[in-house]
């Protein structure tokens, strides 16, 4: 199936690129060529012909070879501070996995009597862990950490002889919770970083706390809607509380005492969170000098790299004095594909802006849209991006469409911040297909989730997400 999709992509991509070139003679050379390259790359991303990051590099390389980008500037985004933020946060998550802190946190919550009372409460326990963790580490890493523990519990509570199993909704729930939780902070999901960076280029700076102030209400309301929706399905399941208690008790007997590696990881993680939040707190308290100092010397990327370096420096106990909590082996185990995709993709997005293509598309859309119908405009943009994300990487969609939407908003002379926030959040709210978000892909890869059930459950949540995001964006715009 994937081979067929890849072959189709290899045929469709050049044909679409040629069609775009033939249909856009009115554009200047640079904008016309960027539109052609982007159409080619979008097909390659959707069909996953080659790794997503390599598609971004291919687009930039073609731009250099055709003379619409200079080699000295084309790949500057690989050294962007946000790349360092990615690397640092991925290494923090890697340290959690390596030293078992992820499983300890999950078992601590699941051992609470409250979560053992019913099937839905047990689901709530897992989803809370997934939701909260994904605010601070990559949502894909969160789901990958929790999946083994999840599968062990679902095998107990949903044995095959019960027929239609509730395990599907447990697995979907952990994926959906991670995607929803990931929008709450700048570092929670790659599209958030992309949106913040594009807004910064427009002169709109958003710090860590400001993002949380705007995105957390959207995240919590969507999380609440998802819980109510999942409760409907889980209310039909059969549940044996004693089996879960026995499972947790067995895991706790096998659990070792808190190790130095876990304590170091938790300490460094706590320090990073405090430093990430500090500039926003100082800004809120109108302590301008402290805010300026923290923003300058302890930016998000600086803090992430500092945290990673501390993990490499601090040993995880006396028996490991010769090495740090993280070692060189951990460097190769983080998600370099996403990191490189971000760097190459931002370079492509920069071409969309610098060539004038974003403004041209924006001005053309404004001829069909009434600036007074802001509600309809926001609804259409959010729904469009959300459904496009179903068939492509959410990172790739954010890279491609955020600059175009900024062009649309400029053309309509509308404020940028809130509509861009809505579109960026929508990139993480696609729940129907495995390719839509990394959490969906991970739980689908467990072979426990039929594609039909994912589509049916996800479609309703897609509609809910569109309405909730639109409502919050309009509320912010009116405020």
pLDDT digits (tens, 9 = 90+) for 167-223: 788 889 989 999 999 999 888 888 898 899 889 888 898 888 889 999 999 999 999
Please report, for residues 133, 406, 455, the alpha-carbon distance to residue 80 in angstroms, rounded to integers and kept in the order given.
Answer: 25, 21, 37
pTM over 0.85: no
- As a whole number of angstroms, the distance between CA 47 and CA 41 comes to 10
Mean pLDDT of the region 35-62: 84
Cβ neighbours around 46 below 10 Å, total: 22
Tokens 């590696």, residue located = 261
DSSP assignment string, 116-171: GSSHHHHHHHHHHHHHHHHTTS-HHHHHHHHHHHHHHHHHHHS-GGGSS-THHHHH
How much helix, strand and coil, in percent to the nearest 5, is found in the chain?
A: 75, 0, 25
Task: Tell me the pLDDT band of 226, cut-offs 50, 70 and 90.
Answer: very high
As given in the structure block, the two tokens for residue 423 are 């579109």
d(CA 226, CA 31): 42
d(CA 114, CA 319): 38
Mean pLDDT confidence for 37-41: 88
143 and 439 in contact (C-beta within 8 Å)?
yes
42-46-51-52 Cα dihedral, nearest 10 degrees = 50
Out of 82-86, 222-226, 458-462, 467-471, which region has the weakest mean confidence (pLDDT)?
Answer: 82-86
* Span 431-441, average pLDDT: 78
What secondary structure letter does DSSP report for 257?
P
Task: pLDDT band for 312, please (50, 70, 90 cuts).
Answer: very high
Residue 295 and residue 279 in contact, taking contact as beta carbons nearer than 8 Å: yes
Residue 1 has pLDDT above 50, yes or no: no
Rounded average pLDDT over 103-113 = 74
Distance CA 356, CA 97 (A): 44
**Is a pLDDT exceeding 70 seen at residue 255?**
no
Helices 29-47 and 336-354 sit at what angle, rounded to 10 degrees?
A: 150
- Per-chain mean pLDDT for the chain: 82
Give per-residue pLDDT as tens, 446-459.
777 887 788 888 99
Give one DSSP letter per residue of 323-336, joined into a string. Answer: S-SS-HHHHTTS-H
Distances in whole angstroms, Cα of residue 65 to Cα of each of 57, 117, 350: 12, 63, 17
Res. 442 pLDDT band, cuts 50 70 90: confident
Q: What is the pLDDT of residues 339-396, one digit of tens each?
A: 777 677 777 777 877 787 877 776 776 677 676 788 888 888 888 888 877 766 677 7
R_g of the chain computed on alpha carbons: 23
Report d(CA 442, CA 134) in Å as an integer: 14
Q: Please enumerate, as own/partner, the contacts of 291-299 that have beta carbons within 8 Å and a separation of 24 or more.
A: 295/207, 299/81
Reply yes or no on whether the pLDDT at 163 is more than 60. Answer: no
Burial class (CB in 10 A: 0-12, 13-18, 19+), 231: middle
For range 99-128, the mean pLDDT: 79
User: In which element (H, E) is residue 358 found?
Assistant: helix 357-366
Mean pLDDT for the stretch of residues 228-252: 77
Pull the structure tokens for residue 128.
């809370």
Q: Report, as an integer, the average pLDDT of 295-314.
A: 87
Q: What is the mean pLDDT of residues 265-279?
A: 85
């Amino acid at each position: 199936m994937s081979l067929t999709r890849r072959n189709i992509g290899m045929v469709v991509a050049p044909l679409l690129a040629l069609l775009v070139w033939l249909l856009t003679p009115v554009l200047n050379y640079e904008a016309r060529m960027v539109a052609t390259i982007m159409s080619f790359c979008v097909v390659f991303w959707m069909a996953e012909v080659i790794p997503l990051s390599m598609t971004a590099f291919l687009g930039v390389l073609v731009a250099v070879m055709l003379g619409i980008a200079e080699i000295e500037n084309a790949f500057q985004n690989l050294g962007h501070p946000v790349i360092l933020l990615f690397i640092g946060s991925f290494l923090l998550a890697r340290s959690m996995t390596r030293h078992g802190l992820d499983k300890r946190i999950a078992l601590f919550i699941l051992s609470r009597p409250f979560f053992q009372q019913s099937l839905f409460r047990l689901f709530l326990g897992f989803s809370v862990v997934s939701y909260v963790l994904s605010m601070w580490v990559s949502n894909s890493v969160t789901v990958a950490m929790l999946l083994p523990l999840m599968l062990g519990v679902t095998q107990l509570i949903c044995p095959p002889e019960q027929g239609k199993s509730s395990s599907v909704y447990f697995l979907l729930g952990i994926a959906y919770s991670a995607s929803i939780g990931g929008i709450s902070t700048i570092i929670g999901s790659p599209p958030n970083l992309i949106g913040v960076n594009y807004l910064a280029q427009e002169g709109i700076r958003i710090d860590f706390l400001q993002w949380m102030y705007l995105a957390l209400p959207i995240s919590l309301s969507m999380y609440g809607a998802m819980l109510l929706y999942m409760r409907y399905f889980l209310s039909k399941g059969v549940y044996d509380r004693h089996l879960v208690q026995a499972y947790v008790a067995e895991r706790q007997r096998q659990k070792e005492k808190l190790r130095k590696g876990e304590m170091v990881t938790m300490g460094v993680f706590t320090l990073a969170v405090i430093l990430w939040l500090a500039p926003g707190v100082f800004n809120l308290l109108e302590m301008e000098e402290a805010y300026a100092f923290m923003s300058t010397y302890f930016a998000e990327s600086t803090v992430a790299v500092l945290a990673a370096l501390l993990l490499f420096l601090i040993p995880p106990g006396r028996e490991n004095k010769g090495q740090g909590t993280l070692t060189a082996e951990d460097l190769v185990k983080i998600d370099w594909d996403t990191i490189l995709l971000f760097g190459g993709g931002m370079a492509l997005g920069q071409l969309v802006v610098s060539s004038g293509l974003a403004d041209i598309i924006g001005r053309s859309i404004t001829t069909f849209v009434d600036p007074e119908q802001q509600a309809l405009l926001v609804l259409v943009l959010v729904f469009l991006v959300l459904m496009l994300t179903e068939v492509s990487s959410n990172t790739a969609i954010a890279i491609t469409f955020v600059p175009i939407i900024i062009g649309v908003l400029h053309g309509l002379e509308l404020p940028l911040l809130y509509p861009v926030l809505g579109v960026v959040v929508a990139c993480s709210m696609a729940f129907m297909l495995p390719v839509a978000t990394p959490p969906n892909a991970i739980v689908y890869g467990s072979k426990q989730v039929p594609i039909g059930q994912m589509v049916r459950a996800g479609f309703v949540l897609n509609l809910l997400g569109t309405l909730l995001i639109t409502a919050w964006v309009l509320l912010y715009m009116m405020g």
